[in-house]
Amino acid sequence: MVGRFDASTGPVEIDLTGIQGSENISRRHAELFFEGGAWKVRDLGSTNGVFVKRAGEAAYSPRLVEPATLHSGDELAFGNVIVVFEEG
Count of all residues that appear for the chain in the document: 88
pLDDT tens by residue, 2-49: 999 988 888 999 999 999 999 999 999 999 999 999 999 999 999 999
Backbone angles phi, psi at 51, to 5 degrees: -130, 150
Q: pTM of the prediction?
A: 0.91
Report pLDDT for 56.
92
Handedness of CA 14, 46, 84, 37 (dihedral sign): positive
Please, what are the domains in the chain? 2-84 (2.60.200.20)
pLDDT in the model for residue 9: 82
60-69 LR contacts (CB < 8 Å, sep 24+)? 66/42, 67/33, 67/35, 67/40, 67/41, 67/42, 68/40, 68/41, 68/42, 69/38, 69/39, 69/40
